[in-house]
Amino acid sequence: MRKQSSVFSRQSSAILAIFFILCSLPLAGQTSKGKAEPVRVFGLNLVTLPSSSSLYQIQIMIHTGSADDPAGKEGTANLVARALIEGGFGDFKNPVTKEKLAEITRPWGDAATPQVRVDKQATTFSVIVPRDAYPEFVQRVLKPMFTQPLWTQAELDRLRREALADIQSRLRFEDEESLGLAALDNWVIPGLGLDHLTAGTVKGLGAVTRDDLASFYKKYYQRGNMSVATSINQPNQLATLMDTLPEGEMFARPQHLIRVTPEPGRHVLIITQPNAIATGLHLGFPIPLTRNSDDYWPLFVGDVFLGTHRDDFGRLYSDIREERGYNYGDYSYIEYLYGRPFFLFPPPTTPRTQQYFSIWIRPVGHQYTHFILKAMTAELDRFVKEGLTPEQVAEAKVKARTLYLNYAESLSRQLGYRLDDMFYGMKDNGYLQQMLAKIDAVAPEQVNEAIKRYLQSENLKYVIVTNESLADKLADDIAHGTNVVPKTLAEYHIADPIPPEKQQMLQQDEQWKAYPLNIPRGNIRVVKAADMFESGAETASDH
C-alpha cells in the first residue's frame, strides 16, 4: 500500500514528538543502597513511534496499581481498571455497556476493544484502531471511557465474582506453579503495598464498593499521573488523544522510594495443596537495582548465564533438568516477570521501583524436595562466589543479544518498553534502544562485580508448594537436615562402569547434599493453599 519508511530505529531520533512533559526527573539514586531518596514525581510523558501501518496503536500507562489499594480494600486498582472498560460509561441514560462497546468496536477489529494489564505500580490500557476510525473511536470510546465512568453495580458484582473465583479456585487449587510464583511475589517485599496479589485479597475484594472505585479513579487517573506511547504522530490527533485523559496534576509518592533490604536469615513458607503431585520451589530477595542502574546490564548478562527464562541456555536448567532430569525447567530473574508460567518472554508494562532476585524451580518429585532446595541454594552460593569466566561471559553476551530479537519483535512491545522507560526515568535512553550496545560493552569483571554487589545466598525467602500430607515432615527435615534424597544411579539411568562426566555429576550431587541450609524450624511456616490470599497476612513478614 505504502512504501515503508524507516521507523522503530534504535536511535533516539525516532522519538519525533514529545509533548506535555510536565516533569521528567530521572529516578534519582537507584544505585545507592539502603537509604530513602528524594521524592520522585511523575509528569505525563508521551512518546510516539510513527509507523506506516493503517492502524494506530495506543498504550496508556497510569502510574498506579495494586500497591495503591486502600488497606482492607485490596483489589480496588484491579476492579477500577476492569470496570472502566466493562462497567459502562458515557451518558447514564444511554450508557456504553460492555455489549454495546463490543458492537461499536467490531468493525475495527478485535484489538479495538481496550485491553488492560494491571500490576502493582502500573496499569496499562492498550488499543489498536484503524486510522480512519480514530476520530470516532476517541469520541465514542476512549474519551467517555476515561472521563465518564458509570461504575455500574451489576458489573462491579460480576467483576468481583470473577476476581474471587480466580483466587479461590484457579490460583489456590488449579495451577501449582502460578500459586508459588504469586506467593513469592507477595512475600519477598514486605509492606509498601507490594505484599498482596494484584487481583486483591478475598476479604478486600468483598469490601470494595462503587464509591471506592470512584474515589480511587479520581485520585489516580489524572493526566499528570500517566504516560502515553503511541504510533500516532499527527500533532492534532495527539492533542485529541491527550484531551481524552482526565485532567489533573502529578503527585508525589514517597513510599515507592524506600529501599528494602533483605530480612536476615533464611525463611521458608510451605504452601500445601491437597492434590499436589509434585513440589515446586522458589527463592527470592529484594535487590536495590532497576533498569536505569549502570549495573543492570552486567547483572543481566550474569543472569542469562545462570537461568534464562524458558530457555535451555542457563546453568540451572542444564544442571537440574537436562543433565539430571528432575523437572521441566529451572530459571533465575533479576526483575519481576509477569505472565509466568506461560509467557516465553517478559512482557513490558509491569515496571516496579523495587525489584527482587529470584530462582524458580519447576515442580520436582516430592521425594527430592529437600535435595533440590539445597541444590538451588548451593548453586546460588557458587554463582555469587565464583562468578563467570571470560568465556562464559562471552557466550552469555551472544545469548543476551538474541533476546533482543524477541523483546523488540513487535511495535506493541516497543511501545510498552517506551512506557517502562518513562516509568524508570529513561525516556531518552530507552531500554531497547540501548540493549545491544550495553550488552556489547559489558566486561567480564563488571559481571562479577555486579553479582557480588547485588546477590547473596544468606538472606533468602523460599516458597515451596507441596502436598498437604508431606508438609510437616518436610519442615522438620529441612530444620534437621534429614532425608536429603537425590536420584539413585538407576533413577539416573547410569550403569557401571560410571562414565567420567557422570562421576563429576555425582560428585556435585554429594556437594549439594552436604550444603548446610541452617534453617531453624521457627523460620519455617506451613500454610494451606485454601488460606492463602485471604487478607494478605498469610505472607506478612512476622518473623
Partner 1 sequence: MFPTMRRFLAATLLSLLLITGAFAQAPKTTPPPKFFPYAVQSKTLPNGLTILVIPTPEFKDMVTYSTAVFAGSRNETEKGKTGLAHLFEHIMFRHEYGGKPGGYDEAIRRMGAHNNAWTDYDMTFYHPTTFSQNLFGPIQRPDGPVPGLIELESSRFKNLTLNRKTFEVEAGAVLGEYRKVFSDPGEKMVEDFSPVAFPNHPYGHTVIGYREDVENMPNAWDSAWEFYHNYYAPNGVAVIAVGDVDAAKIFAEAEKRYADWKPSHPPQIPAEPAPDGPKQVHVKWEADVSPRLIVGYHTPAIQPGSKETAVSQILSELLVSRSAPLFQKLRYQKQTVTSFSIEGGPEFLEATDPHLLLLDAELILERFRKDGDKYLGDVQNDVIGGIEDLKHFSRQPKAAETLRVIKSKYRNDFLAGLDSTGSIAQLFAWYYRFDRDPRVLDTLLQGIDLLTPQDVDAYAAKYFTPQRRIVTTLWQEQGGAAGAQEGK
Q: Are 517 and 373 in contact (CB under 8 A)?
A: yes
Q: Which of 16, 21, 23, 398 binds partner 1 (CB under 8 A)?
A: 398
Site for partner 1 in 114-173 (CB under 8 A): 128, 130
| Closest to 121 (Cα-Cα) out of 346, 291, 351, 289 | 351
Helix (H, G, I), strand (E, B) or coil at 57: strand
Binding to partner 1 by residue 441, rule CB under 8 A? no
Q: Which of 24, 168, 215, 412 binds partner 1 (CB under 8 A)?
A: 412
Least gap, CB of 158 to partner 1 (angstroms): 13
Closer by beta carbon to partner 1, 111 or else 250: 111
Decide if residue 402 touches partner 1 (CB under 8 A).
yes
Binds partner 1 by CB under 8 A, chosen from 30, 51, 227, 354: 51
Piece of the chain touching partner 1 by CB under 8 A; list 72-80, 206-214, 396-404, 518-526 = 396-404
- CA–CA gap between residue 425 and residue 445 (Å, rounded): 27
Among 27, 55, 61, 474, binds partner 1 (CB under 8 A): 55
Q: How many angstroms separate the Cα of 208 from the Cα of each of 72, 77, 170?
A: 9, 10, 21
Pairing state of beta strands 355-364 and 460-467?
Answer: unpaired
- For the chain, the residue count is 543
| Stretch in the footprint of partner 1 (CB under 8 A) among 76-84, 98-106, 356-364, 369-377 | 98-106
Is 148 or 412 the residue whose CB approaches partner 1 more closely?
Answer: 412
Cβ 368 vs Cβ 361: under 8 Å: no
Q: How far apart are CA 129 and CA 127, in angstroms?
A: 6
Beta strands in 447-501 (DSSP E): 460-467
47 touching partner 1, by CB under 8 A: no
Q: Which is nearer to partner 1, 408 or 475 (CB)?
A: 408
112 binds partner 1 (CB under 8 A): yes
Task: Tell me the CB-side half-sphere exposure of residue 27, using CA atoms within 13 A.
Answer: 27
CB of 8 vs partner 1, minimal distance in Å: 5
Contact 176, 279 (CB under 8 A): no
Site for partner 1 in 287-346 (CB under 8 A): 313
Residues that bind partner 1 (rule: CB under 8 A) add up to a total of 39
Stretch near partner 1 under the rule CB under 8 A, chosen from 102-110, 200-208, 457-465, 514-522: 102-110
Question: Which CB atom, from 71 or from 405, has the smaller least distance to partner 1?
Answer: 405
Hey, how many other C-beta atoms are within 10 angstroms of the C-beta on 6? 7
- Describe the crossing of helices 369-386 and 444-454 by its angle, rounded to 10 degrees: 130
Q: Looking at residue 101, what DSSP letter applies?
A: H
What residues numbered 3-32 form the site for partner 1, per CB under 8 A? 4-10
**Nearest residue to 209 (alpha-carbon basis) of 82, 89, 76:** 76
DSSP β-ladder status, 55-62 and 226-230: antiparallel
| Pick 108 or 317: Cβ nearer partner 1 | 108
Q: Give the binding site for partner 1 (CB under 8 A).
A: 1-2, 4-10, 51-55, 102-103, 106-112, 128, 130, 313, 391, 394, 398-399, 401-402, 405-406, 408-412
